[in-house]
Every structure is written in C-alpha cells, then in structure tokens.
A and B are shown apart, each in its own frame.
Chain A
Amino acid sequence: MILAILITFFAAGAAPLVASRAGRRTGWILSLVPAGLFAYFATWIPAIQGGEIVRVAVDWVPQFGVEFAFVLDGLSLLFALLITGLGTAILAYAGAYLEGNPDIGRFYVSLIAFMGAMLGVVLADDLIAMFVFWELTSITSYLLIGFKHEKAYARKSALQALLVTGGGGLALLAGVILLASAGGTTSITGLLAAETPITEHALYLPAFILIAIGAFTKSAQFPFHFWLPNAMAAPTPVSAFLHSATMVKAGVYLLARLDPLLGGTAAWTWSLSVVGAITMLVGAIAAVRHTDLKNVLAYSTITALGTLVVLIGLSYPAALKAAIVFLIVHSLYKSVLFLVAGSVDHETGTRDVLALGGLRSKMPYSFGAALLAGLSMAGLPPLFGFVGKELTYKAKLGVEGIGWMLPSVAVIANALTVIAAAILVIRPFFGRYNSPKRAHEAPFAMWIGPVIIGGAGLVLGIVPGILAGIVAPAVDAVAGEPVPIKLALWYGLNTALLLSVITVLLGAFGAWKMDALRMGLQHFDALRRAGPEAVYDRLMNGLPRLAEWQTSFFQGGSLRTYLAATITTLVALVGGTYLWQVGIVVPWSAPDLMPIEIVVTGIVAVSALAVTVVRSRLVAVTALGVVGVGVALLFVLFSAPDLAMTQFLVEILIVVIVLLVMQHLPDEVNRTSLGRRIRDAGIAVGAGAVVTVLLLSVGQTPVSRHLSDFFGETAVPGGFGRNVVNVILVDFRALDTLGEIAVIAIAALGVFVLVKMNAPLDGLTRPAHPSVVLQTGTRLLMSVLLLASLFMLWRGHNEPGGGFIGGLVAAAALVLYTIAYRQAGTERMLRVAPRVLIGSGLAVALASGLFAVMAGKTYLTGLWAGIETGTGVLKLGTPLLFDVGVFLTVVGVVMTMVLALERISTAPPPLMDGEGEGTQEPGTQGERIRPPSRRAPTAPETSEKLPAS
C-alpha cells in the first residue's frame, strides 16, 4: 500500500521525462499507473468484503507518535478505487486534451502527484499523515487551477482556492491536534478503539468545530463554497478529477471517516445537516442560473456535496448507506459530464450552452455518454442515479423530529438538479445545430473514458447488487458497526418513490420553462453582492489597506524616530517591569565618595549635558572628549592605569579623526522643534533613571569576588605577569581580545570601504605643502615614540602597558609622520599596506594560541620558557606573542583609517548642491576609483552623475 503511494509520486516525478519522449502517447502511457493501481486495489475487494482490515505502518516522526500508517478498509478501498479508476480515464483523456501544450510535462507532475496525495488522504490511518496529504492536495490543486497561468483570472482563482482550503486546512490542523490530545493518539484506528467516547471529552466541541471547518472548506460547503466555481479556471480534466470526483470529496471522506468517532451528537447532526441543506439549495439555484457548462457542473457539484454532508450528518445506517451509494453515483456521472463538457469545449471552442446545439450527430459517442450520465444525474430509472436518489429520499424521510423540512429542501434541490441535467445534455446536443467552430467527434482518448463510465452507470443501475460487495464494507466502516446492505433498483411503491416522481415532474416543468426560470432567478443576483464571496473580496481588498496603514504607522520614520521608539521600549519595558516586580523603590544608600571623585563626576555630567545642548558641532565633539577624559580619570582613581591609558589614547584619536572629517560635514541646522526636544529629553532622562536605579540596586549586595580574587592570585604564578589586566587580556580571556581585535580590524576595513569605494579620485586632492620644520621634528620624535611603543609592548605583562597601548603609541607616531609627509610619504616608509599589517597582526595573535594545540593542550593555553639572563630568569611565552599580534593589529587599524581619511582631509570641502558647478573642471566629479572592473564604462548610473556642462 505504501509502495502504491510511493509509485504514484515516483511516476509524478518521471512524468516530464515521459512527456518529452512519448509525445502523443503520453496520456496513454501515464494512465497505466492508475490503471495498475486500480487493478491492485481491486484484488483487495474479496478480502475487505470478508471483513478484513489491513493496516501497515512505519514510524515517521516517533517523537509525536506520528506514523506513516495506512489502513485499507471498506471506505478507503471505495475511495481508492474511485480515485484510480477515474484517474485512469482522466489521465488518458488529458493527453489528448492538452496535446501539443508545452507545459504538459509539468501538468502531469501536478496531476499525478495530486492523485498520490489523494490516495494518501483516504488511506492514511494517522491524523497527521492524513493532514500532510490533505494539504498536498491543496497545493497540487493550486498549481493545477493556475495551469493557464498567463491569465489573470486563473491566477486569482487559484489563489482563492488555496486560501480558502489552505485556511480551512489550518483549522483542521488545530482540530486534529485537539482530537489527538483528547484521544491520546494520532492513529485513527487507535482513536476508534478507545474505550471512552471522545464526544464526552471537554475538547470534543472545539475539535469538532475546527475539523468541520476544514472539511467544509475542502468540500465547498456554504459559506465557503465560492471557490469551487472559480476553480473551473483549471483545464477540464482537472475539474473533472479534482473539483468534482475526488478532491472536493475529501471533506466528505473525512466526515465519514470520523463519524463513528465524532458523530451522533446534536452538534454534529445539526451543523452538518443545516450547512449541507443550505449548500444544496445554494448550489442548485446557482446551477440553473448559469449557462456555462462548467459553471453549471460546478454548482451542481456543490449541491451533491451538500447532499452528502446532510446524509453523513444524519449519521444513522440508512443515511450512511445512501451517502456511500450517492457518492459513487455522483462521481460516475459528474466525471462523465465534465469530460464531455471538455470535449465540447475542445471541439466547438465554447462552453456556453446558448451558443451550442444539435451536436448529437456530430459527436455521437460523447452524446451517448452524456445522455447516460445526464439521466443518472436527473435520477431517472434504470440508471444508477435513480438508486442513489431513492436511498437518499428514504434516508431523509427516516429522520424523526425534523419532519418534512429536509425532504422538501431535497425535492427542490433535486428538481433543480434535473433542470441542470437538462441544461447540460439537452441544450448542447438536441435542437438545431449550432457551434462557433466546425464540430466533430473528439479523439478516441477523449470519448472512450466517458462512454465506459457512463455505461457503468447504466449497468449498476440495472443490477446494483453487484456493488454490494464494495458498498457494504464502506458503510460498515462509516457506521462503525456491520450494517446489512441490499441494493436494488426497485424497492416497491413507497414515499421515496413518490418524491422521486414529484422531483422529476417539477424538473421537467422547470426545464420547459427554463428561460423564465432563469430570468426569475436573476433577482437573487443581488444577494451575491452580500454573499461570502463578496466578503472574501472585501477582505482581500481591505487587508492590504490595513497592512499599509500599519506599515506606515510603524515603519515610516527616520533613524531618530526609530531610536526614540526603541529606547522608549527599553525604558517602558525594563522600567515597567521594575515597577511591577519591585515597586517604587530607589535603593539609595549614602555613598562613600572622595571629593575628587565628586569633582570628576560633576565634570563628566556637565560635559555630557553640554553635548546635548550646544549648537556648534565642534564644541560638542570637544565636550564629548571631556566626557571620555573624565571617565579615564575615574579609571585612574580606581587604580586601573591600563584602562585609563587606553581610554586617553582612544579619546585623543577619536577627536583627531572627527576633526579630520568635520569640514566635510554639511552645515549644522537644528530643525528639531522644542516639543520634540522635550520629548527626547524625557526619553533620555528615563533611560538614565532606569539604569541608575538598577546600578544602585547592585550596590545593595556584596559583590562576589571569586573571579577577581582568582585573577589576582593566579596572575603571577599561572600567567607569569604582574599586570593583572594584561594577563586577563592576553591569557585568562584572550579569546575576548581575539574577538575585539577582529572588531577593530573589521572597523578599519569599513572605513576603507566607506572612504575609498566609489569615492572621488585622488586628482581632487590639493598638492601637499608640508612644513620642513614639522618634517625634521617628526623624524626625531618618530624614533623616540616608536621605541616607547615597543617598550610599552614589552613591559605590558608586568607594568601598565601592553599591545593595545603600545600599538596606539606607535600609531600616534605614524599619524604624526603622516601629517608631516602626507599619505604618500607614510606609505613609502611603511612599505606594506596597513591592511597587511592588520592581517599579519590577526594571524600572529591567532597562531600564538595554536602552539598549545600542537602541544596537545586547549587553544590559547600559555606555553612558557625561562631564559637565564644575568639578572634572573626571563620568562617568554605565547601570551606575549599574542600581545605582539594585538600590537600589529592596532597599528594596522589606525593607519588604515588615518591614511584613508587623510585623503579626505586634504581634499577641498565637497560642493554643496547648487553651488559652484561651473568652477569644477568638467568630468572630474564623475570619475571614481575602480578596481579592475568589468562593468561597462557607459553604465547609465555613471553618465548620469556627470555635470551638465
């Protein structure tokens, strides 16, 4: 059984290959697959008839207890036979119908994959597995409805079907999960075998409602029915297969399958029969209203689906028997009528019955098939449709309590169906010959299937008993208990027969007065505007508007707005949580401060405030520098000289760099309104307050010192350095340092990219006029500074200093050199590009940790060697090498940035828009630095930037 499904999917995958090789015979060859499967399933009939139920399972997702489980009982066998049987005819038919279409390969992929999925749905014994196949039918159906994808209508219809069935599918998913959690298993067999009925479980009602929504959307029940007529945008064989005979019955199948589990309650009976009855009527009325063959068929399919849902809702043996028989009846006649409608369309070029007539002599075989099917649809003896209708009426009459309501609805719906059958058969085939195109009989592949299936309807009508072997086990499965089945064409005179007669008479009268009837029904068209489809349309139009509104609400702003929103969130969330959990508590305790600390803190605070209020950018930068220096002073006060030195050097470099680019920034205009500034100030103060309160609460608890104590105690004996900070940087937490030098390295690359990529050419820079005094002074100072930097690096492990500080000092020396000798001079002196320095530095640092790996220790473990010198033992180790790497990286980083920026600083300020265009030499502005480029020189974006002159 699993193999059967796998074969189907495999065949789907192979379909394009077959289509490209086999040409015209594609349809025949591929139809062998369902034919073979049909034969395979047919061999099971005797066993199933004998009461056997076959179950195969392999673990799929054991985590959830989900199995790839399949069961073959009466119900699934019936569906499998229908799917493969009709599938054979339809695959063969489609080969001729779509002959010459270049997309036929992909068409068959979807169609056969659909067939596999559908088999999966009806065979699956696991709710989750069933759901997977269920959704797979939705996707394949989507692809098939959109087959004529160049047409907007097809795309829209496909989307509608996908959304409605897919949305219902998600409800089904929730329902299935609830059901599984209520029953404790996902296995359907397991659920059915449960001791306590699910219907008494608290989750029964939500589970049932959700599952019903899933089934209703799939089986096109009111109010979800509207997608089905639109799905007729699919090629006709698809409509015949998916949207009439098989897929839309998946919902019915699901309800039937779960009837023993969920059925029998008032909720079940009422919701199914009411929804089904409304669906019957809506479908039947709309069917008569239309003149397009496929629309008529689609709406009459909705009627039939409604009938089936009502019958399953009634949920007692006679009704279920009627449901099963009617299901077979409908699948047979409806697929024939669809296929014939496709042939008519194919041969005449239209599906509008008003433009058709008298085709019976031109298309005799199709006509014969259509006639048999139409009679069956109308429920006339001796066709199988009559048997089905009799049973249906009997079932509906058997309901106690509802009285005549249900049969009356059924009679009206069925009478309308008779009219629909007349529209489908009488209009095109009888009367005066009328066709837009010269009509002739369709190819063999397109009529043989309908004739066989139509003939089957006749045979089964005369001797329905031969089907008992299939119907009986199916009814047993749905009823959950053995039900005695006898099928006959003639049950004798009874009320059901009377209703049949009334139906046919009404129908005949209606068919006679068809035009008047249709005119009368036009009045109902206004209802459509308020119907479910209108709701869908309004939803589809309204959603984008809602989406646009929310997007412009949340996503319209600039960085300022975003930052304000983000920080407000921070304040509200963190502050709010604090208030909620702790209350309005300020954990204040009198601090123990030295006067100098108060002074420095005060300076920092005032400078920080100044940054926010001063108008001049220059002053702001300077004030920011003061903040940094103040923090560095605090580091000094807390005896962290390394931090202080680093901070000082970085602050100085930042101010220098900012000043370098300052002249190129546009004039500062403060456009912010006062109200906004007040709001921003509020946010800022809030953020500060939150952090302050949190920090104060830290102060309430004694700090655990196990980490810092360890560092202090271990630095010398374990890390061989007296400078704990440096030992932390290059040994205890060297990985952090490795990450951080990577950060600054990348930042330097970023500056390089920002300044040099697509930037104005060097030609723009003014010739440098360095001062000779500066040059001479620099030469002297340079060597001192470089020596100092190496000294800092060397002593760093024991005294304040280290790779970072040494690197910064060296970089400062080189910056000085750059000021004196310009970029070119520095580049000449360095010989290697600063980026190579960065790479080498990173490489040295990274490699220093690898020695330990080679020695069989973990990465970055320090390896030390002692060298005897005159004064004592000199300890050398890999952490020192690591520090060398840091040193090199820092030098490279600073130089990359400075050399890139130096060019900007010596360039004249860029011209503001609209000023001085004439003073520029033509052509210079548009030129860009380019690495060896393959882009065409005449790329439009380049030429557009050339000045107009």
Chain B
Amino acid sequence: MKVLLVLPVLIPAVTGILTLLLRRSRFAQRALSVLGAVALLGASSAVLWTVQTNGIQVAQMGNWAAPFGITLVADSFSAGLITISAFVAVAVAVYALRGMDVEREFFGFHTLFHLLMMGINGAFITGDLFNMYVWFEVLLIASFVLLVLGNEEKQLEGAVKYVGINLVASVSFLTAIGLLYGFTGSLNFADIATSMGNIQEAGLEATIAALFLVGFGIKAGLFPLYFWLPASYHTPPAPVAAIFAGLLTKVGVYSLIRIFTLLFPDPTGYTKTLLLVVAGATMVIGVLGALTERNVNRLLAFLVISAMGYVVMGLGFFTTLGLAGAVFYIFQDIPVKASLFLIGGVMERETGTTEVGKMGGLYMHRPLLALSFIVPAFSLAGFPPFPGFWGKLTLVQAGLATENYLIVAIALLVGVLTLLVVAQVWARAFWSPAREEGLVSTDSPLQRSVLQAPIVVIGVALLAVGLYAQPLFDLAQQAADNLTNTAPYIQAVLG
C-alpha cells in the first residue's frame, strides 16, 4: 500500500475541499466532517499498526528518491502522534455538532478544521525541512482564520497577536532552513543529518540550533516566547480552542525534538543547559499564570504552556529515558488538553460565564461532567492513576538519572502548584453551590450528550492508559529509541 502514508494528509484535505464545495448544506458539511475525522482515525491507526509491525515507513512523493523529492516518514513518534491527533479530531468533530454555531459553520469552520488537521499531520510525518515549513504555514493560516472566525473584537485582538508573533517563528525557521541548505545543499532531514560536517567545521551547530529553538519555541509556547498563547487561546469557541491546545503547541515541540535529535544529536553542555533553563522557566511561568487567572479558558491556556516545559525538560536530558518521558508526556497531553478545553466550553455553556469564581453547582447538577473533569485535571497535576503521572514519573527518573536535581525539584514543585490550580477550579466551579439562577444552559439531554460523549470517551481512554500504561509506553520507548539511535531512520529514508 504505497498510498497509506499520504492518507493522513489527503483525507483531511479531501474532507476540507468537499466541505468547501458543499458549503450550502449544513447537514452535508457536518456529516462529512465527522466521517472525515473517523476515516482519518482509521488511516492513522493503519499507519501506526504498519509501523508497529514493519518498522519505519517511508513514502517518496512523486517517486523521486530521497533526497531529491519530498519524503514522508512515519516512525513510532510520528505515527503515534497522528493517531492520537486523529482520535482527538473525532472527539472535536462530534463535539462541534453542538458546540459550534451555525454562523461559523456557514463561514467555513469544517473546512478550516480539516485543513488545519492536514497541516498538523503533514508536519508530523514529513521528512523534509522545507515541506515541514509548508505545513507550518498551512496550520498557521488555518489556525489564524479559525481564530478570527466569528469576527468578534477580542478574537481579532488575540488573532493579530497570534499571527504577528508566529510570523517571527516562520522567519526564524525559514532562516534556519536557508542556512542548512546553504551548508548542506539539501532539505531532506536524513540527508542533512549525514552531511552536517560543514556546519560543525564552521562551529555554527549551536547557533543554528538556537535559531530552530526560537522558531519552534514560539510555536511550542516556550519561555520567553509564549506571549501569543494566553493572548489568543481563550477567544475562539471550545472546539477550536481544544484542537489548538491539544495539537498546535505539540507540533512545535515535536519539531523541536525531531530536529534536535536528528540534526544535533550530540549537543554541547551549553545547549542542554539552555534547554533545561527554558524548560524550568516555562513550567514555572505557565503555572503561575494559571494560578492568578480567573477566566477558565485563559487559565487552561497557561497550563498548556506549563506542560510544554515538562516536554522540553525531557529533551534537555538527551537520554533515551528522557525522550521516552517527553514522548509519552506529549502523547497523553494531547487528549488531556483537548478534553479540558472541551470541558471548559461546557462549563461556560452551563453557567453562562467564563469566570471560574462565578461558576458553581456543576458537581451537584452535572456529575458526569465532574467525573470527566477529574481525569484530565489530575492527570495534568501528575497524579496516579492517570497517564500524566507516568509521564512525570519517567521524566523525574530521567532527571535523577542524569543528576539534574534542580530541574526535577522545580518539576515536582510545579506539580504541586498545578494541583493547586486544578483543585481550585474544581472547588470553585464544581463544588461551590450554583448561582441563584442555577445552570443557564437550555440544551436538551440529547444535545448535552453530544457535548459530553466526546469528553467522556476521552476520559475513559485516559483512565485506561493510566491504569495500563504499558502499550503507550512501548510506543514511546520505540519512539525514543529511534530518536537516540537515528541510524534506522536515516537508513529507511536514504535506502
């Protein structure tokens, strides 16, 4: 099946195009949107399965052998990411059936959503530097339009900050690509990885790495490049925010890990320290931001930042264990963040406010929602038996093994603060008595279940992973093995 690897890009593209052409029929758009997401999940799972059974999969687009054409590559890391992303996409597509308003659907929500998925998946499975840049542009413009979709003033304000700062990321990334092309004459990851000699001679390895760090760091929301994130993530409706929070920063951090492990596999102490400092500051800044935030969506946005710190910490150790922890953390953080933002949307619908302090009564009146909140929230705080715990456990182990005690202490402390944040949300929004008028949502039970079903399904999946983490661990471990020993990857691409 030579087409398999391209399906994670093609299916959302086709879905996006068809929803654009059928823009007059709301029903057709919605049906296509859900079907497209389900098909994407099927195709991604097939890729994952193939990778698991046959090893790294490679497709040379246009039948031009690497490094001359564009190569798509799926290893365990990429395949895991596209599968989990597709899972979240299905959840969001279903949630959007009720959580999206008719104006936004009319103006192209479904089209943009699927084209965004195309960009995300493309970035995850491409093996080509410039192609990755193209997918970055796709997802940047798609996310920008999704941000402004609705044309509300706060959306525009957030979107301008979003796109303004992200363009700096594009410039930085593009400059780095140009430099690498200048030195190596190639754009193919694997090809570049084998011809880094010129750069090493010029002593520019760390400098180019820093350029990538800025470019991807902006995308990933790392300190001190994260400003756009809390400025924009709270403005769009819940389904959009959920996809953003679940996936966009992950693309940045995925790229960071991919490029650093493949092109700069033996970093100097300088780069490692730099990454760890960035990681620590990101964790702390994120959680402190969440601590003082009263708007539930902005609060969650800050927690997105904090989580990225953990991932970069795992990268900064530059050991297989650290990378396994980072990969595992990314895997589980995608559904965690998506589900929290979806829950945030329901909280807003039910209570009519985004202020956590003004909410209340959700525990009493929406027990299922309350239960579904506990799973991702405590997972975020790194509590067992939820998957976040296993991620943190691995990262802490990796940190102690490499004797980076300070960053481990910070990570654990940030865990306590995260616990404080989510427990406060729980206490205020769920435990507190409802306002006088009670819950304001007028959703019928069926409509409510459309919103809650995806949340519950994600919650159950997370709990299952928390209770039996081994399969996901295996995947993360394979991914980490391929990241530290890049020979099979290069071999698979260059043949």
State whether B207 touches A577 (Cβ < 8 A).
Answer: yes
Complex Cα distance, B210 from A580, in Å, reads 12
> Which segment, of B30-38, B40-48, B346-354, B470-478, faces chain A?
B470-478
How many Å lie between the Cα of A551 and that of B298 in the bound state? 12
Interface string of B362-400 (1 = CB under 8 A from A): 010001000000100010011111000110011011001
Inter-chain contact A574/B288, CB cutoff 8 Å: no
Give chain B interface residues in 93-142, CB to chain A under 8 Å: 101-103, 106-108, 111-112, 115, 118-119, 122, 130-131, 134-135, 137-138, 141-142
- Tell me if A933 is interfacial: C-beta within 8 Å of chain B: yes
* A839 interface contact, C-beta 8 A: yes
Report yes or no: B137 in contact with A743, Cβ–Cβ below 8 A.
yes
- Residue pair B142, A163 in contact (C-beta under 8 Å): no
Asked if B3 CB lies within 8 Å of chain A CBs, one says yes
Pick the contact of B433 from A139, A150, A933 — CB < 8 Å? A150
Residue of A at shortest CB range from B434?
A: A150
Which of B81-89, B224-232, B237-245, B246-254 sits within the interface? Answer: B224-232
A738–B67 Cα distance when bound, in Å, is: 19
A602–B433 Cα gap in the complex (Å)? 69
CB pair A739 B419 closer than 8 Å: no
Give the distance to chain A from B217, nearest Cβ to Cβ, in Å: 8
Contact B68 A836 (CB under 8 A): no
A136 touches B385 (CB 8 A): yes
Q: A581-B204, A581-B206, A861-B62 are in contact. Are A173 and B142 (CB under 8 A)?
A: no
* In-complex Cβ contact of A694 among B23, B207, B213 (8 A): B207
Task: Assess whether B214 is in contact with A573, with CB atoms less than 8 Å apart.
Answer: yes
CB pair A694 B227 closer than 8 Å = no
Q: Does B203 contact A (CB under 8 A)?
A: yes
Q: Find B412's partner among A128, A139, A171, A578 (CB 8 Å cutoff).
A: A171
Find out whether the CB atom of A840 lies under 8 angstroms from the CB atom of B21. Answer: yes
Is B224 in contact with A569, judged by CB distance below 8 angstroms?
A: yes
Q: Which of A55-63, A293-301, A465-473, A765-773 contacts B (4 or more CB under 8 A)?
A: A55-63
Cβ of A64: which chain B residues have Cβ within 8 Å of it? 393-394, 397
Let me know if A747 is at the binding interface, CB within 8 A.
yes
Contact B207 A59 (CB under 8 A): no
B412-430 with Cβ < 8 A to chain A: 412-413, 415-417, 419-420, 423-424, 427, 430
CB–CB B285/A554 < 8 A: yes
A859 and B186 contact, CB distance less than 8 A = no
- A707 contacts B270, C-beta separation under 8 Å: no
Q: Is A731 an interface residue (CB 8 A)?
A: yes
B291 in the interface (beta carbon within 8 A)? yes
The answer to whether B228 and A562 touch across the interface, beta carbons within 8 angstroms, is: yes
Contacting pair A757 B182 (CB below 8 A): no
A852 and B2 CA atoms in complex are apart in Å by 10
Q: Which stretch from A82-90, A223-231, A540-548, A867-875 is at the chain B interface?
A: A540-548
Cα distance A746–B139 in the bound complex, in angstroms: 10
Q: How far is the CB of B332 from chain A (nearest CB, A)?
A: 14
Whether A159 lies near B62 (C-beta < 8 A) is no
Chain A proximity of B311: nearest CB distance (Å): 18
Give min CB distance, B306 to chain A, whole Å: 12
B318 to chain A, nearest CB (A): 17
Nearest CB of B to A128, in Å: 7
The residue in chain A whose Cβ has the minimal distance to the Cβ of B427 is A155
Complex Cα spacing A706 to B185, Å: 7
In Å, the complex CA distance between A694 and B470 comes to 45
Contact with B along A16-56 (1 / 0, CB 8 A): 00000000000000000000000000000000000000000
B390 adjacent to A166 (CB under 8 Å): no
Q: List A residues 133-167 near B (Cβ within 8 Å).
A: 135-136, 138-139, 142, 146, 149-150, 155, 158-159, 162-163, 166-167
Contacts of A711 in B (CB 8 A): 68
| B268 CB contacts on chain A under 8 angstroms | 581
**C-alpha spacing A736/B299, complex, angstroms:** 37
Inter-chain CA distance A272–B108, complex, in Å, is 66
Closest Cβ of chain A: how far from B279's Cβ, in Å?
15
Q: Does A361 lie at the interface of the complex (its beta carbon under 8 Å from any beta carbon of B)?
A: no
* A670 is an interface residue with CB less than 8 A from chain B: no
B195 touches which of A139, A146, A704 (Cβ 8 Å): A704
With both beta carbons as reference points, the residue of chain B lying nearest to A740 in the complex is identified as B134
Listed stretches A425-433, A484-492, A695-703, A909-917; interface member: A695-703
Residue A339, interface by CB 8 Å = no
Q: Which B residues touch A857, using CB under 8 A?
A: 2, 63
Stretch touching chain B among A256-264, A497-505, A627-635, A748-756? A748-756
A753–B145 touching, CB < 8 Å = yes
Nearest chain-B residue to A546 (Cβ)?
Answer: B288
> In the complex, A608 Cα to B251 Cα: how many Å?
33
| Contact B70 A736, beta carbon cutoff 8 Å | yes
Which residues B148-189 have CB closer than 8 A to chain A?
148-152, 160-161, 164-165, 168, 172, 175, 178-179, 182-187
Q: CA A378 – CA B274 in complex, angstroms? A: 61
Q: Which of these, A544, A576, A580, A858, contacts B59 with CB under 8 Å?
A: A858
Q: How far apart are the CA atoms of A336 and B202 in the complex, in Å?
A: 78
Contact at A581–B207, with CB atoms within 8 Å? yes
Contacts of B203 in A (CB 8 A): 581-582
Known: A757-B151, A843-B21. A163 touches B145 (CB 8 A): no
* Bound-complex Cα distance A672 to B213 (A): 31
The segment from B6-14, B337-345, B453-461 that touches chain A is B6-14
Interface string of A551-583 (1 = CB under 8 A from B): 100110101001101110110011011101110
Q: How large is the interface on A (under 10, 10 to 19, 20 to 34, 35 or more residues)?
A: 35 or more
Instruction: Determine if B39 is an interface residue (Cβ-Cβ < 8 Å).
Output: no
Check B151 against A566 for contact (C-beta < 8 Å): no
Q: In whole angstroms, how far apart are the Cα atoms of A856 and B208 in the complex?
A: 40
8 Å CB contact of A733 from B70, B107, B149, B150: B70
Given the complex of chains A and B, what is the CA–CA distance between A733 and B132 in angstroms? 12
A736 touching B131 in the complex, CB below 8 Å, given contacts A697-B202, A704-B186, A858-B62: yes
Question: How far, in Å, is B22 (CB) from chain A's closest CB?
Answer: 9
Residues of B contacting A562 in the complex (Cβ-Cβ under 8 angstroms): 161, 164-165, 227-228, 231
Chain B min CB distance to A948 (Å)? 20
A852 and B135 contact, CB distance less than 8 A:
no
Tell me which of A174-182, A650-658, A673-681 binds B: A174-182
Q: Could you say which residues of chain B place their CB within 8 Å of the CB of A733?
A: 69-70, 130-131
Residues of A within 8 A of B (CB): 59-64, 106, 128, 131-132, 135-136, 138-139, 142, 146, 149-150, 155, 158-159, 162-163, 166-167, 170-171, 173-174, 177-178, 181, 543-544, 546-548, 550-551, 554-555, 557, 559, 562-563, 565-567, 569-570, 573-574, 576-578, 580-582, 691, 694-695, 697-701, 703-708, 710-711, 714, 718, 731-736, 738-740, 742-743, 745-747, 749-750, 752-754, 756-759, 835-836, 838-840, 842-843, 846, 852-853, 856-862, 930-935
Which 4 A-B residue pairings sit nearest by Cβ, starting from the closest? Answer: A704-B185, A698-B182, A149-B431, A739-B134
User: Can you list 30 A-B pairs with a CB-CB distance of less than 8 A?
Assistant: A60-B470, A61-B469, A135-B389, A159-B423, A163-B420, A163-B423, A167-B419, A170-B416, A174-B396, A181-B401, A554-B285, A570-B211, A574-B211, A578-B207, A580-B270, A582-B207, A694-B211, A704-B185, A706-B67, A707-B187, A736-B130, A739-B135, A747-B141, A842-B16, A843-B17, A846-B10, A853-B3, A859-B10, A932-B106, A934-B102
- 16 additional A-B residue pairs with CB within 8 Å, beyond A132-B385, A146-B427, A862-B62: A63-B477, A149-B432, A167-B416, A173-B393, A554-B289, A563-B164, A566-B224, A566-B227, A570-B211, A577-B206, A580-B206, A739-B131, A739-B137, A742-B138, A842-B16, A932-B106
Q: Which residues of B contact A (CB under 8 A)?
A: 2-3, 6, 10, 13-14, 16-18, 20-21, 23, 59-64, 67-70, 101-103, 106-108, 111-112, 115, 118-119, 122, 130-131, 134-135, 137-138, 141-142, 144-145, 148-152, 160-161, 164-165, 168, 172, 175, 178-179, 182-187, 195, 198, 201-211, 213-214, 218, 224-225, 227-228, 230-231, 268, 270, 274, 285, 288-289, 291-293, 324, 363, 367, 374, 378, 381-385, 389-390, 393-394, 396-397, 400-401, 408-409, 412-413, 415-417, 419-420, 423-424, 427, 430-433, 468-470, 473-474, 477
